[in-house]
Chain A
Amino acid sequence: MRLTNKLYAQHIGWHFKKHWQVQGRRVPKDTGAAAELLKMGVQVKTSEDVLNPKTEPKLVEIVGASLKPIPEDETHPNWHSTACHLFGDSNVLLGGLPQAQVLTNSIEINEFPRQIDEAIFNSQLPKTLDRSVQNAIFSSQLLDAQQVKLPKIKLADRPAYNLPRLYGISQERRNRLLINKLLFEIEKLAGRSVTVRRKLIDNVTFQTSLIKDNDVLVFKISGDKLISSARPLDAIKGKFNGDLPDLYPMKSTVSMPKQHIYTENTFYPIRKDITCSHPHTLFTYFDKTIVGNVHGSEVSKTQFYGRSLLKAFVVAASRAKQLGDVPANGVLQKPIVVQCIQTDGQEFHFGVLQLNTLNLNTDSATKNYWFHRPSVELFSECSYQTGRLYLGGYNSEAFRILNAFYNNF
C-alpha cells in the first residue's frame, strides 16, 4: 500500500509551486523612484531596514577565571608597522649555508682554527676509551628504559600503507643522553683543572635583533646545552679573506617568516657579573620532525650546516650586546668566539664562529669568520642483531673533535 500521497502532475497547485521556483527570483530594476524621492527630500529605506532593524548585541564584560587572549592585530602592545624577519628553532634557511653566510656577514673557512687542528692531531686518548664511548652510544640509543610512541613513518611509494606504530626512546632523549655521556667521558679525561673553569647549562634561550639593509631581523633560538667558561675564547690568530656568496635573485631574508608582533630586546641567559658567563660551546639538537622547511621539504645538508652557523651567531651577537661595547660602526673591539656543535644523535657538525662585527650590511668591510668541516658520523647503525647489541661504522673522529672543542681555551 502506498503510504504517501500520489503526485497529481496536472494539479494546479503543483504547477504554481514549480512556477514560483522560477518567478520567485527577481532582479530589481532601478526605476529612478528612489532618486526622485531623495530629490524631494524624502528619506529612502530598504524594506529590510524597516522590518528587521539591526541591533548590536550588548557586550557584557564578565570577570572570569581565564584571561582573554590578546588579539594579534594592530592593538597588540608589541605590534610594529614594519614586519621583522624571524629566525626561530623550527625553521631553516632555504638557501642553506650560503644564505646564512650572507645573512650573518660571515666568510666560510673549510678547516678548524690551527690550535683545534693541532689538539685533534696531538690528542692521546687511552685505548679503553673507544669501549666507553661505544657503551655510551648503546646506553643512549638502545638501553634506556623510556618507551614512547615514535613519530609516524610514511613510505613515499606506498602512501596508503599504515606501518605499525613503533615505541622507543624519543629523539630528544637520545640526543640528551648521548651528549651527557660523551661530556662525562671528556670531563674524566680533562681533569679538575679544566672542569672547574667550565659550567654546563641545559635548555637556554637567546634572543637578539639586528638591522640588515633596512630589514629588521629577529633571532629567537634555544640552545640545548651551553658550556660557559671562566675566560672568553681567544680570538683566532691569522688573516682570513674571502667573499660572500652571491644569492641573486634571492635576498638573504628569503624563507624567514615575516611577523609584525615582536620585541627588539636582547636576551643572554647568564648575567655578565657571574664568573662563568662567557659562551664557550653551544650544543644544539636536530630533530627532523620539529625542524623543517617552510614548504614542507626535508632539510638538506647545506641547510643543516647553515643552522649551526646561525645558532652560533645568535649566541655571540646576544653576548656582544649584553657586554654593551658595540660602537656605532658595529665592529667589536674584542671579537667574540663561540663554538657550535649540532647533532641528530648520529651525525655531528662542528663549527667555530668568530664574531668581528655586528654590522650586517652589504657594504661592511669587516667580516665574521666561520670555521667548519663537513659533518662527521659517530656511527652508521646502532641496533639489535640476532638479539645482540650491534654498532656499525663507529668513527672515533667525532669524539676526538668534541674533546678538542671542550679543552679549547
Chain B
Amino acid sequence: MQSLTRLLANCTLTLHPQQQRVVAAALQQQQLRTKTKYVEKPKPGAGQQFRRIVHFPEEYTVQPLKITHLAGRDPVTGRMVAKGIGGGIKQQYRWIKWVRDGPSEEGATQEERVVELLRDGCRTAKVALVAVGDELKYILATENMREGDILKTSRFIPRIPVRPNEGDAYPLGALPAGTRIHCLEKNPGQPCHLIHAAGTFGTILRKFDDKVVVQLPSKREFAFDRTCMATVGRLSNIEHNKEHVGSAQRMREMGNRPRSGLWKRKEGKHGRKVRRLPPMTTIAPPAAPKEQEIRLTLNL
C-alpha cells in the first residue's frame, strides 16, 4: 500500500496543449458560476398583480381584450414573484371605465342606459354595458340593476343630499348618510377606485368639515374628500362569497396551483387574533411621483 502511495505521489500528470486548454476553459466556467447577476424583483402584495397582462389598446373600447397569463412571474425580469398562480382557462377582459364623468352644474345630470349585463371571467362582479350618445362603456353592475335602467351622473353637491337610485354616480358630499356605495374614488382625480369585488359595498357613516366618513368592506372607517365620486348600491353577484369552489380541478381552471400546505388556521402567526379596529383614518393625498434616479454602472 505504501509503495502504491509513493508511486502515485511521484506520478506527474502530463497533458497535451489541447487538453490543457479544455481544462482551463472548464476551470474558467467554474469560476464564472460564482459571478451571479443581481436581479431586482418586485415584492408581492404591493398593488401589482402577477396573474395576467391585459393588452390594452390606445383608445377605450368595449371589445373584449386579449390577455397573457403570467403565472406569478414579474413581466420585467421574468422571475417568479407570486406563488400558487398558473394555468387556468383563458378569459377575455372587459375594460371598465372607472371614471363616471358628469356635468358639474346644478340640476344637470347625464343619463345613461344599461344595455346588457354580462359575466366577465376576469372579475367576480357582473359587468354592465352602458350606452350614452354614440358611446358604449362598461361599468360594474349593481345587485338590482336590470337591462333598460337609466343611470344618472352628476358632479354637483347640493345643499340637501340627493335621493339616489342604484347605479347612479354622485360625489360623496351629495349622498345622504347610510347610503351603500361602491367604485369609490380614493382622492379626487386619482385613478384609484375602491370597492370592486362581488357583493361588497361601503357605507357612508357621517360627514365633518369637507370630509365624508365611509366604512369600507373591511369594516375600517376612512375619511374621504367630499368631491370624491362614488356609485350607489351594492355590487352584483352577492352569492359569490358563499359559492364553493367544489373541486381541485375547478381551482386549476381558475388559474390557482396547489397550496403549499404551510398555512395553519389555528396555529402560530396565522392563528386567530381578536383586536379592536384601528380608529378612523383620513385618506392621504396621492404621493408625489418618484424622482428619476440614475443607476451608476460601476462593475463590482
Contacts and interface: CB of A to CB of B under 8 A. Distances in A.
Nearest to B129: A295
B158 interface: no
Nearest to B135: A254
Given A249-B132, A254-B135, A24 B298 contact: yes
B132 A250 contact: yes
Nearest to A3: B30
Contacts of B293: 25-27
Contacts of A171: none
Interface in B104-131: 111-113, 115-116, 118, 129, 131
A254 B131 contact: yes
A294 B62 contact: yes
B3 interface: no
A72 to B, nearest CB: 13
B97 to A, nearest CB: 13
A255 to B, nearest CB: 6
A238 interface: no
Interface in B224-273: 249, 253
A20 B298 CA distance: 8
Contacts of A20: 298, 300
Contact of A159 (B38, B132, B135, B253): B253
A16 B300 CA distance: 8
A297 B132 CA distance: 19
A251 interface: yes
A251 B94 CA distance: 23
A251 B30 CA distance: 71
A197 interface: no
Interface in B28-61: 30-31, 33-34, 38
Interface in A6-56: 13, 16-17, 20-21, 24-28
Contact of B113 (A5, A27, A28, A249): A249
Nearest to A295: B62
Interface string B145-176: 00000100000000000000000000000000
B133 interface: yes
Interface residues of A, number: 30
B92 A296 contact: yes
Contacts of B294: 25-28
Contact of B136 (A13, A17, A295): A295
Contacts of A85: 134
A297 B94 CA distance: 12
Given A24-B296, A160-B253, A249 B112 contact: yes
B230 to A, nearest CB: 22
Given A16-B300, A26-B296, A296-B92, A249 B133 contact: yes
A124 interface: no
Given A21-B38, A297-B118, A27 B33 contact: no
Interface in A153-201: 159-160
B291 interface: yes
Nearest to B61: A294
Given A94-B136, A160-B253, A295-B136, A24 B116 contact: no
A295 B114 CA distance: 14
Contacts of A16: 300
B115 A253 contact: no
A264 B5 CA distance: 99
Nearest to B291: A27
Contact of A295 (B64, B89, B249): B64
A296 B249 CA distance: 28
A85 B133 CA distance: 13
Nearest to A6: B34
Contacts of B131: 94, 249-250, 254-255
Nearest to B249: A160
A296 B93 CA distance: 11
B295 interface: yes
A273 to B, nearest CB: 40
A391 to B, nearest CB: 35
B218 interface: no
Nearest to B290: A27
B69 to A, nearest CB: 14
Contact of B134 (A24, A159, A160, A254): A254
A4 interface: yes
B10 interface: no
22 contacts: A3-B30, A4-B30, A13-B300, A17-B38, A17-B300, A25-B294, A25-B296, A26-B293, A249-B111, A249-B113, A249-B133, A249-B150, A250-B131, A250-B133, A254-B134, A254-B135, A255-B136, A294-B62, A295-B118, A295-B129, A295-B136, A297-B118
Given A28-B294, A253-B134, A254-B135, 12 more contacts: A5-B34, A16-B300, A17-B300, A26-B296, A94-B136, A159-B253, A248-B111, A249-B132, A254-B131, A254-B134, A256-B134, A295-B62
The 5 closest A-B pairs by CB, nearest first: A251-B134, A24-B296, A295-B62, A253-B134, A27-B291
Interface of B: 30-31, 33-34, 38, 62-64, 89, 92, 94, 111-113, 115-116, 118, 129, 131-136, 150, 249, 253, 291-298, 300
